[in-house]
Amino acid sequence: MTVLGSVRVAAAEGYRGLSALALLAAAALPGPARAAAPNGFTIGLEPSLFTGRFGTHHTIHIYDLPLSVVYQHNRLLVRVELPYIAVAGAGIVAGQSVISGRGSGATRQGLGDVWVKAEYRLAHAHGAVPAIEPYVKVKLPVASYRKGLGTGRFDEEAGVRTVWRIGDRVFPYVQLGYRVVGRLPGLHLLNVMTFEPGVAVAVTPRQFVSVILIGHTPIQKRRTAVASAILAYNLRMNFRWELQLYATRGLTSQSAAFGAGLGVMAHF
């Protein structure tokens, strides 16, 4: 389940933060300073747990172990996320949602769906002018539909993230997107609008705190929207290593009631 692809912002694409907070703040830096930031790879691992009813009549636990690889080259950033998940409770996992309460309630596990995202920075934040970052992302349906770990269908999304800079420490942003959801017979799935407003604050040059609202419009007929509030903390220990902690609280009946994660990122 991806929640933080932009903290996800990059805090983040759900319940995974990755090194997004640092990336978000870096995106708002002036051109010369941003250009001085090193290109290369970031590899992250973030064990997470999410629990709630997700709009069903029983409690569902989702254990998530996503491996992420991010490549940055100047204004271009490409991110690949491969999760291993375990689900206890009946239902089919679809992004931040559980779209059906049918099926076995036994614990099942396996690879989750792979998300590939590319974004490009068109402009840097300067005064009242925000940084503009359009993006596209595709879900590769690797997860087993038979086990309820995914829908077995491709999803595609396009959108834009806008980041402002207030002084040297505060970075508000808004990300909006539109996702084309792969259809499943009989489940009446809908395309969704995704949203992610938030703000990252540089407590020190190496520490960031972020508050985020992330979710999407209803993915299924007769269901409500998905929305969660996220509090995240990033610590850049040195050039190589970064830590992230985050907690989530669901705001709608379709969301996970609670969630938490601990991430470790290595920069190369």
Per-residue pLDDT, 32: 35
The span from the CA of 69 to the CA of 80, in Å, is: 5
What is the pLDDT tens value at each position of the chain, 268 positions in all? 554 444 534 333 333 333 444 444 444 444 433 434 468 999 999 999 999 988 888 889 999 999 999 999 989 999 999 999 999 988 888 877 888 756 567 889 999 999 999 999 998 887 788 999 999 999 999 999 888 898 899 999 999 999 998 888 899 999 999 999 998 888 889 999 999 999 999 999 889 999 999 999 999 888 899 999 999 999 999 888 999 999 999 999 989 999 999 999 999 8
Nearest Cα to Cα of residue 213 among 121, 47, 96, 123: 96
20-267, which class in CATH?
A: mainly beta
Per-residue pLDDT, 9: 43
The span from the CA of 268 to the CA of 37, in Å, is: 12
- Spell out the domain ranges in the chain: 20-267
| CB atoms inside a 10 Å sphere around CB 116 | 14
Q: pTM for the full model?
A: 0.84
